[in-house]
Amino acid sequence: MTETITSPQNEKLKLIRRLAERRGREREGLFATEGEDLLAAGLASGATPRLVLVAAGSGPGLPQEADPVEVDPELLAGVSALGSGSRVIAAWPLPEPGEPDGAGPCTYLHGVADPGNVGTIVRTSAALGAGQVVLGEGCADPCGPKAVRASMGSIFSHPPRSASISATPSPRLALVAHGGEPLDAALLDLRPATVCFGAEREGLDRESLAACDARATIPLATGAESLNVAAAAAIALYRVCSLAAPPETTA
């Protein structure tokens, strides 16, 4: 490290501030991560950071390939989008989403505007070995600060794409809060290639529902209104991925 940033007007700090907004990310072609775990996840995925900033005097421990620039700790905290006073902030090229590989069921989201839910569903999909996450109209930016943090690095290994429901493989199963067939019963009749979720209050839109082959509901205890969409996705994807997995063999 050959420089220490001590001015709030430094161009590197200005860049990180711009990346807090979706417009800035799209214009720069970059997004930011905060914390050492996300830096490590990005490097492990083979991604190369455009910039790594580290709080001056915080000590060694970063991977050598990070090539960090030291910043006055108060200035670094001042550009944190999460308000956590992060020790490390890195800027990365926006991930390039690939085509669905057929390795597991695709996940389609419509109107999921909460970035924490989007990031958590990306993380869940990656952890369960599901296919790609496809973001329809009205979804939060998966590269926003809260979504990236909630993904816990899965944004690098499992980048979602933005597309309409018609781009997802069929058959499709719609998860609805009420009125669908119980989930396990629905999966006896349909092995979905895509599982679809809508916003918690509004649910899936008419176009998405019309594109689905069946509707399923996760049974809840008496008096419970609904599940958080990320919780519903975790339950449904676990059940669908379990059915898709080959049976275990014993020696």
Helices (H) and strands (E) in the chain, counts: 10, 12
Tokens 């998860």 found at: 175
CA distance 21 to 32: 10
Residue 39: CB atoms within 10 A of its CB come to: 26
Quote the pLDDT of residue 61. Answer: 63
- 123 with 152: CB under 8 angstroms? yes
Residue with tokens 């419970």: 224
pTM recorded for the entire structure? 0.90
Q: 4-93, which class in CATH? A: alpha beta
| Cα 203 to Cα 224: distance, rounded to the nearest angstrom | 16
Per-residue pLDDT tens for 163-186?
999 999 999 999 999 999 999 999
**CA nearest neighbour of 159 among 29, 23, 45:** 45
In which element (H, E) is residue 23 found? helix 22-28
Range(s) of the chain covered by CATH 3.40.1280.10: 106-244
Q: Within 10 A of 68 (CB to CB), how many other CB atoms are there?
A: 20
Which residues belong to CATH 3.30.1330.30 in the chain?
A: 4-93
148-164 per-position pLDDT tens digit: 999 999 999 999 999 99
Alpha carbon distance 156, 61 (integer Å): 22
Q: Which of 155, 101, 84 is nearest to 126 (CA)?
A: 155
CA-angle at 33, arms to 27 and 39, nearest 5°: 130
Q: Are 244 and 104 in contact (CB under 8 A)?
A: yes
Residue 65 in this model has a pLDDT that exceeds 90: no
Give bridge partners of residue 88 from the DSSP assignment.
54
106-244 CATH, one of 3.40.50.2000, 3.40.50.2020, 3.60.150.10, 3.40.1280.10:
3.40.1280.10
Assess whether pLDDT exceeds 60 at residue 139: yes
Could you give the CA distance from residue 7 to residue 75 in angstroms, rounded to a whole number?
8
pLDDT at 100 over 80: no
pLDDT recorded at residue 206: 95
